[in-house]
Structures are given as structure tokens and as C-alpha cells.
Amino acid sequence: MSFLASTPEEIEPIVLCPQAGPLAERLRQLGIASEGLHLVDSNGQRKDPELVNAELLAMLKSLSPQIVHANSLSMSRVLGRIANKLSIPCFGHLRDILNVSKKVISDLSQLSKCIAVSDATRQCYVEQGLDKQRILRIYNGITSKQPENALASNREGLRARLGLGSSSPLIGGVGQIGLRKGWDVLLDAVEHWLATDPTVDPHVVIAGVRHSNKQESIEYEQVLLQRGKHGPLTGRVHLVGYWTPIDQFLQEIDVLTHPAYQEPLGRVLLEAAALGTPVIATDVGGTPEIFGESGAVLVPKADSRAMADGLSRVLKEPEFSRCLTKEAASRVQTLFGTEGHREAVLDLYRSILN
């Protein structure tokens, strides 16, 4: 969205998307044109792929754009299936690290270029057969923020809502409530920390909701809730649901933990780095590209003891924590600015059109 909001006069974007919801509303606020494209029918069922292909092809031929840019893996696949029927450059933006089928790679291979959000994401698809000349890395951009200039936040607000005193460390997490996010590993880490240092009084606060209705996902959420009601973590686990603005949440917690099993390039990690919130995260995907060797505590995935050690150090050694956040903020400003992202995408467009 930041790219669309700051495009130069030479670019006239038209976004194809559902005409109801926060995306459409935001586009209207920015004065960006949009046309209705719906992948589900009136009953909420996914449309037949051939019907989606035909509708998208008809819309594009009617609009006559100079470039088409699909903004997700799924839409990149759809665009790839009709690219040979269009006489214009077609781009796909890959924001997921996934094991995919040969058919997916075949669809992506029909596009003029694919953009990966991190080197790790790019490598994922190259290793599965996508021509390395067809995919390049362009980091997402984020506006640099300093805590003193960021959204005003009452640090006591979250504590008051949870009924906690100022001495209790708030260990935050942001993301969907699902197995791949590794929230159970975080809870294991806090248990380890409590066992080794009973003087601490940590509380885990997770901002996010469960989207999946699979039985395993429902049971996973229930296990997390139960661990906050029984055993060593009684009263220490708080699932606060969807939270906005996320800036406020990140400023009120003492550390952001990100125990995910995979992460292409976490937006919340960039937000935390920009705001000066210390981070403990799993050393997976594009996360080390954000923080380098000294911008966060990076631990192996599923290693709750390493995460417990990281929590102890970050929350008990203020100077160490300050060094982490200073390095992280510097890297975000240097590598992940919105201006750099915008120019990289525009350079790609120009290189194809000229």
C-alpha cells in the first residue's frame, strides 16, 4: 500500500480487488482507482479456476494496462495461467516460503519476472525449479520511526487492561493463532525461565486470532488457553485477539518474541525494529536478513531453552537490549526504507518497458 500511495505521476495504478472491506476502503481514502475482482461466489465458495482465469483475462483486456502486477503467490499463479494470452509484462510478488508443486513453478515461469520479499524466499523457489534469472529480491519497505516520534502510547494501558503491575515483564507476540507460529514453544520457554529463576514475574501477551477452522487449529488454541489456566503459567498467558494499532502494542510490551517455524520477511519484525522494541526470534527464512548478526536474539526453531536464555538476557541486561535495538533500527533505515522499495519496483518496471 505504501508503494501505491507514493507512486510518481508516470504510474496510474488500478487495483483489481473485492469492492468491500478494509483494502477497498483504504484505496478510496487514497484516491486510487479499483475494479471489482472476486475469487469467491455469493455463497462464499471459491470460484472455478477456469472461470477466474476468464474473468481476469476479460478485465485486463478491457482496461488495457501496460503492466500487470500480482501481489501474492496465489494471484501470481492465476496471472501466470493467462500471461501467454496478454501482450504486456506480467509480474508476480512472492511473499511466502512454501513447498509447491511443479505446476505452481510452471505457472510462475510464464511471468515476465517474479519478486521475492527476501533472499530466503527467492532461494526457496529457485531450489524448486524456478529459473534464477526470472526472480529477483526486493525487500519490503517500512517508514522509519523513532519511539519518541511514534504513535503516543500509554505504557500502562495494556498492563491496566490485564490487571498487572509495572514490574511484570510483558513478553509480546503478534501473529495468527496457529501451529506454524510456534506459540507453544514460547510458553515452554517462559516455563523454563520461571523454573530457573522463580523471582521473575513474566506475562505472555499474544495479539492475533485463529483463522483456520481445522480441528488441529482449534485444539491448538485451546491448549494455549488451558496452559494459562493450569500449571506453572496460570494467570500468565493472555490472548488479546486482533489489536490495532500495532504500533501501540509494540511500544507497550518489553520484548517481541517471534517463535515461528518459517518467516519470509515478517512485517511485525520490521515494525518492532523501527520502533526500538527488542526482538527474540527464530533464525529462519528472511528474519536474519532483517537483523543481521547483532540486531536481535536469533535462536533455532523449536528451541525453547535457547529462547528462555534470550528472554533472561534481554529483560535483565538493559545495555545489551539497547545495543540490539540500535543495530536493528539502523538496519531497517538502511535496507528497508519505503523509498528504496519504491525505486527498486519502478526500476524493474522501467527495465521491462524500455
4, exposed or middle or buried, with CB in 10 Å at 0-12, 13-18, 19+?
A: middle
Angstrom distance (rounded) from CA 23 to CA 17: 8
Which neighbouring-strand residues pair with 330? none
Which neighbouring-strand residues pair with 137? 116
pLDDT average, residue stretch 187-209: 96
Closest residue by Cα to residue 17 from 71, 58, 67: 71
Cell numbers linked to 12: 496510474
Of 43-57, 157-171, 281-295, which has the strongest mean pLDDT?
281-295
Angstrom distance (rounded) from CA 347 to CA 338: 14
Fold designation for 156-335:
Rossmann fold (3.40.50)
Task: Give the pLDDT confidence of 159-173 residue by residue, as tens digits.
Answer: 888 999 888 999 999
Query: Cell 519496483 appears where?
Result: 345
Task: Give the pLDDT confidence of 122-139 residue by residue, as tens digits.
Answer: 999 999 999 999 999 999
The overall average pLDDT reported for the chain is 93
Angstrom distance (rounded) from CA 226 to CA 91: 45
What's the whole-model pTM score? 0.92
**Type of residue numbered 109:** S
In the chain, which segments carry CATH 3.40.50.2000?
Answer: 2-139+337-353, 156-335
pLDDT at residue number 21 = 84
Angstrom distance (rounded) from CA 295 to CA 237: 27
Whether the ω angle into residue 245 lies within 30 degrees of 0, i.e. cis, is yes
Task: Flag whether pLDDT at 267 surpasses 70.
Answer: yes
Task: Flag whether pLDDT at 306 surpasses 50.
Answer: yes
pLDDT at residue number 153 = 45
* pLDDT band at residue 213 under the 50/70/90 scheme: very high
C-alpha distance from residue 23 to each of 12, 16, 18 (Å): 18, 11, 8
Angstrom distance (rounded) from CA 295 to CA 273: 8
Domain 2-139+337-353 bears CATH identifier 3.40.50.2000 = yes
Q: Which residue has the higher pLDDT, 24 or 106?
A: 106
The answer to whether the CB of 162 falls within 8 A of the CB of 135 is no
Angstrom distance (rounded) from CA 158 to CA 172: 11
Cell numbers linked to 89: 509484462
Closest residue by Cα to residue 126 from 94, 89, 82: 94
Angstrom distance (rounded) from CA 322 to CA 237: 26
